[in-house]
Amino acid sequence: MNGVDIEGSDRAGGGAALHWWQTRTFVAIMALVAIVPLLRPDIPPLVDLPGHMGRYRVQLSHDQYPWLLDWYNFNWQLIGNLGIDLLVIPLAKLFGLELAVKLIVMAIPALMVTGFLWIAREVHGRIPPTALFALPLAYSYPFQFGFVNFALAMAIALNAFALWLRLARLQRFRLRAAIFLPLSCALWVCHTFGWGVLGVLAFSGEMIRQHDARTDRGPVSWGKAWVRAGLGCLPLAVPILLMIAWRSGEHVTGQTADWFNWRAKIGYATMALRDRWMAFDMASVAALLVILFRGFRDPNVEYSRNLGLSALFLLVVFLLLPRIVFGSAYADMRLVPFVFGIAIIAVRAKRGLSIRGSATLAVVGLAFFLVRIGAGTASYWMFANDYDRELKALDHVPVGAKLVTFIGTQCGAPWTMSRLEHIPAIALERKMAYSNDQWSMAGAQLLTARYLPARRFAHDPSQIVTSAQCPREWWRPISKAMARFPRDAFDYVWLVRPPAYDPKFNQGLVEIWRDGTSVLFRVDHSKRGIQISDEALKTARPRPTPF
């Protein structure tokens, strides 16, 4: 064997003609289809992405707008989370910041699609029809959440794993080592998670290849295969030194916590395709589970040992990962779609399955992908309309404004995330205005907040407000936020779809724009804000705000 798990695969079938879903043209078309939902929005409606765009603006423009460094610390350092931060430097000069970010984000689902299909081809010899069911995972929940450096690194990791398998099949091991030593370092810089997942996938694939290598005494034992696989993956190990240097820095913060939260892990499995419509998204996950179940029970399909082992390794990592790693939440959740994806492309039709049966599976898989893309396109169109409506407020915000923003949300994490949670950062990106939604964790991001007059309203999650105090959340009730934000630190207050609150908290604020419940106020520094005790705040009752 040359590193490819081919028993029962199409590769064993010699030079038979390719089916329509196995051609390079089909793969290219699927990659283009994957970008369709992102064509309409000017700003891809991913939850955290606007916040990152605010950081990119400080990174690119603090020389022209020196007050940005009065508000934020920005220090270049080598961390495992720099993918788009680096790419926007040349691309923003060519396209402008917003279009540059959009083009990079559009590339992510396209690369996810090519990665899944390329891996399937390398392992099975040809793309099995079941692999098409993995394609909707290009728009998985971590991508919807806006973990863009992570998503970009994972998309690159999938394609890199396919290249790893291909070079092993061609027995180009020296070339593979020469390519993957720098590639692994670049992938680590993009996002540490992508490098780690590539290591897991490469090790499992190499382990199968080593075990299947024939010697005079027969197959290699699993123990020896384990050792040889580790030696074969040494070109991927250099970033360990980068990791040690990063995490031993004197300013690095962030805890690792919430281990073995089984309730959360089960919930994350149901959220692999979470977007807007809960029933539809969960039914789509159920469809993936049916494919995986068929791999065990249907006599016409089977699992590849190579990718089956890779999926098993990823599942173990997911089960062992805590929810919070180095202060970054949802660490384990990010892996779920890729456990699904690798497991699904591990499923293939057995050689006895008729061409009609394979074609039927391919048609159903393609329909599943197209339905998910159609729904995602409609969802993103609606989110883009929300952005367009709310961002009209910025027409009334001057350049360099000191802006505090409060965005309404609900307790209990509703399925449909509004995608407005970090919209204040667009004021930073477009108007160089202060944004109180930036993350401020040394060592995790290049930027931290330093605007001391803002006090506890300086950074994320101070922008999130609710109608009442939510259990186990740092979010403030809207009445408390309006009463307690330091008015001398800000010139403008932007409320984005806030919960109902008593209009008395608007004392000393001058309304200059409104659309529905969203409103932009100018702070009248000649007037005092409302004076109210903490006890009175606890008993404050919301009243519908007239408009």
Q: Which of 395, 399, 432 is nearest to 520 (CA)?
A: 395
Count of Cβ atoms closer than 10 Å to residue 227 Cβ: 13
In this predicted structure, the answer to whether residue 6 has a pLDDT above a threshold of 60 is no
For residue 492, the model assigns a pLDDT of 97
Phi, psi of 440 (to 5 degrees): -135, 75
Q: What is the per-residue pLDDT for 296?
A: 80
Q: What is the pTM of this model?
A: 0.91
Higher pLDDT, 53 or 212: 53
CA distances to 248, 482, 502, 539, 540 from 534, in Å? 42, 13, 15, 9, 10
Does residue 5 or residue 519 have the better pLDDT? 519
pLDDT of residue 247: 67
- Mean pLDDT (whole number) for 32-36: 97
| Interval 231-252 mean pLDDT | 79
DSSP β-bridge partners for residue 314? none
- pLDDT value, residue 199: 93
Strands 214-215 and 301-303 turn out to be unpaired
Instruction: Write the pLDDT tens digit of every residue in 279-324.
Output: 999 999 999 999 898 878 777 778 888 898 999 999 999 898 887 7
Confidence of residue 363 (pLDDT cuts 50, 70, 90): very high
Q: Which tens digit of pLDDT belongs to each residue from 155-175?
A: 999 999 999 999 999 999 999
Residue 197 has pLDDT above 90, yes or no: yes
* Percent of the chain with pLDDT strictly greater than 90: 63
Query: Which of 48-52, 192-196, 430-434, 525-529 bottoms out in mean pLDDT, i.e. has the lowest?
Result: 525-529
Residue 15 has pLDDT above 80, yes or no: no
Q: Is the pLDDT of residue 543 over 80?
A: no
| Distance in angstroms (rounded) separating the CA atoms of residues 13 and 4 | 14
pLDDT at 185: 94
Whole-number pLDDT of residue 14: 44
Q: Which amino acid is at 115?
A: G
**CB contact set of 326 (below 8 Å; sequence gap of 6+):** 247, 252, 254, 255, 256, 443, 444
Q: Is residue 215 very low, low, confident or very high in pLDDT (cuts 50, 70, 90)?
A: low
Answer positive or negative: Cα dihedral of 151, 152, 154, 159. positive
Give the residue-averaged pLDDT of 193-199. 93
Can you give the length of the chain in residues?
547
Residue whose pair of structure tokens reads 């450096």 in the numeric block: 149
Q: For position 533, what pLDDT does the model report? A: 73
pLDDT band, very low/low/confident/very high, at 432 (cuts 50, 70, 90): very high
Q: Which residues, including other chains, have CB under 8 Å from residue 235's CB and lie 6 or more apart?
A: 176, 177, 180, 181, 184
| Per-residue model confidence (pLDDT) at position 260 | 77
pLDDT tens figures, 71-96:
999 999 888 899 999 999 999 999 99
Residue 327 has pLDDT above 50, yes or no: yes
Q: What is the model's pLDDT at position 1?
A: 38
Calculate mean pLDDT across residues 258-267.
Answer: 83
Residues 134 and 109: beta-carbon distance below 8 Å: no
